[in-house]
A and B are shown apart, each in its own frame.
Chain A
Amino acid sequence: SQQGEEDPQALSIQEGENATMNCSYKTSINNLQWYRQNSGRGLVHLILIRSNEREKHSGRLRVTLDTSKKSSSLLITASRAADTASYFCATANFGNEKLTFGTGTRLTIIP
């Protein structure tokens, strides 16, 4: 069953621009995570934000969480060609603490 739904499904931007992806979910969460997947590869964990946190930074990544709206956003600043990948949000739900993955946003950075 899908919990996280990413928006948009696909995004193309020029190198150097900022990229923003959104994730919405349905039930209360323990934490929300973002992963990156390069074509033909496994997923790589980027960042975890707990339900009592509102914002978190890691290098060029900024994640926000709004539990009242049940949504999160991932901002990648000063994008690079190497950021071209699919990005997935995953939620860990209270009472059923398994990770549930969304369907992903495919990001293309145009050099």
Chain B
Amino acid sequence: NAGVTQTPKFQVLKTGQSMTLQCAQDMNHNSMYWYRQDPGMGLRLIYYSASEGTTDKGEVPNGYNVSRLNKREFSLRLESAAPSQTSVYFCASSDRGIAYEQYFGPGTRLTVT
């Protein structure tokens, strides 16, 4: 099993460009999450999907959109990238819900210039 996979691993964008970060899990988990990690800030929840067909905002949703394409895949879109969105983005999944053990992908390092 690959677990949680994310593409791309690295990305550089110019301000105003758009892109989609892809995430997939092969553990048949119901719930999936997107976090960002910034130095000295810990991980902050951007959006989550408790089950296929549902999505909810997390702590820092502004500037992002998500799509739960099916049970396996959960994508994060930046419509108009800003330098403040420079960060490392992690996708995670869980089978027991958001308050329990989460499995993380390797991350996408995004730089917006």
**A residues engaging B (CB < 8 A)?**
1-2, 4, 30-31, 33, 40-45, 48, 88, 90, 92, 97-99, 101-104
11 contacts between A and B (CB under 8 A): A4-B42, A31-B99, A42-B106, A42-B107, A48-B100, A92-B99, A97-B97, A98-B98, A98-B99, A99-B45, A103-B40
Determine the distance from Cα of A90 to Cα of B66 in the docked complex, in whole angstroms: 24
CB distance from A52 to the nearest CB of B (A): 15
Also in contact, A88 and B42, with CB within 8 A (given A41-B107, A98-B98):
yes
Most chain A CB inside 10 Å of its own CB: which residue of B4, B41, B90, B104: B104
Query: Which residues on the A side are within 8 Å of B19 (C-beta)?
Result: none
Contact A42 B104, beta carbon cutoff 8 Å: yes
Determine the distance from Cα of A90 to Cα of B45 in the docked complex, in whole angstroms: 12
Contact A43 B100, beta carbon cutoff 8 Å: no
Query: Which residues on the A side are within 8 Å of B48 (C-beta)?
Result: 98
Also in contact, A2 and B42, with CB within 8 A (given A30-B99, A42-B107, A92-B99):
yes
CB distance from A79 to the nearest CB of B (A): 23
Question: In the complex, how many residues of chain B place their beta carbon closer than 8 angstroms to a beta carbon of chain A?
Answer: 24
What 9 pairs across the A-B complex have the smallest Cβ distances? Answer: A42-B104, A92-B99, A97-B99, A101-B42, A101-B43, A43-B104, A103-B42, A45-B101, A42-B106
Interface string of B39-52 (1 = CB under 8 A from A): 01111110010000
Q: Closest B residue to A94 by CB, please name it.
A: B99
CB distance from A53 to the nearest CB of B (A): 14
Query: Which residues on the A side are within 8 Å of B101 (C-beta)?
Result: 33, 45, 48
Also in contact, A1 and B59, with CB within 8 A (given A41-B107, A42-B106, A103-B42):
yes
